[in-house]
Amino acid sequence: MWAGLIRRFKKSRPDEPLPSNKEIMEEIEMIKRNFRKQGIFLDLFRKETLERLEERRVKEVQLFFELTDAFFYYDCSLRERPDLSSGQQEALSMIWEKLEALLSSVGIDIIRKVDVDFDPRLYEAMEKVREGNGKPVVKQILQPGYLYQGRVIKPAKAILEMENSESQE
């Protein structure tokens, strides 16, 4: 393939004929086709490699999900107790801050906020406690959800309440 092109630029011997322009153009077209094929192959290889890396990363952060779930249920069980002191509540809040900072450092955001508008992308409605004619609001989280690098890995399971909107006359 390169032979004709190299012969064109090499010092020619008097007995050796130079390749024609048509031969050179055909060879260049063949080189271009091979580069296109290589480019397509490299794109597919890159895409497949990135997908495998992403699957591996999600598996690696699974332990963080399990730790957070365990702490979430522990926190819920402690907050149900009537004799929880303000110091204990503050300690739980401090642990949540540290845990959320740790999760954030590896690209994970926990979905556990209450008294926010219901977003079906982030929350899965398990129950509605009060009917109304307004917008749905998250009132309680039954199980936390997770975002990994901005993508929903698991939506939070929530109890909703329909906000009453009073009509103005």
Given a contact cutoff of 8 angstroms between Cβ atoms, the answer to whether 161 and 137 are in contact is yes
Is the pLDDT at 11 greater than 70? The verdict is no
| Topology adopted by domain 61-162 | Nucleotide Exchange Factor Grpe; Chain A, domain 2 (2.30.22)
Q: Which residues of 88-114 are buried (b: 16+ CB within 10 A; e: fewer)?
A: eeeebeeebeebeeebeeeebbbbbee
> Is the pTM higher than 0.85?
no
pLDDT over 70, % of the chain: 87
Least confident of 7-21, 33-47, 89-103: 7-21
DSSP three-state, residue 46: helix
Instruction: Please report, for the chain, the start and end positions of each structural domain, with discontinuous segments joined by +.
Output: 2-7+18-55, 61-162
Report the mean per-residue pLDDT for the chain. 84
Is the pLDDT at 169 greater than 60? The verdict is no
Sign of the alpha-carbon dihedral angle for 79, 116, 139, 148 = negative
DSSP three-state, residue 126: strand
Strands (DSSP E) contained in 11-122 are 108-111
At CA 39, angle to CA 35 and CA 45, rounded to 5?
Answer: 140
User: Residue written as tokens 């508008």?
Assistant: 117
pLDDT, average across residues 51-79? 86
Given a contact cutoff of 8 angstroms between Cβ atoms, the answer to whether 115 and 139 are in contact is yes
How many whole angstroms separate alpha carbon 55 and alpha carbon 63?
14
Give Cβ neighbours of residue 121 (< 8 Å, ≥ 6 apart): 152, 155
User: Would strands 123-128 and 145-148 be described as parallel, antiparallel, or unpaired?
Assistant: unpaired
For residue 92, what are its two tokens?
A: 């739980």
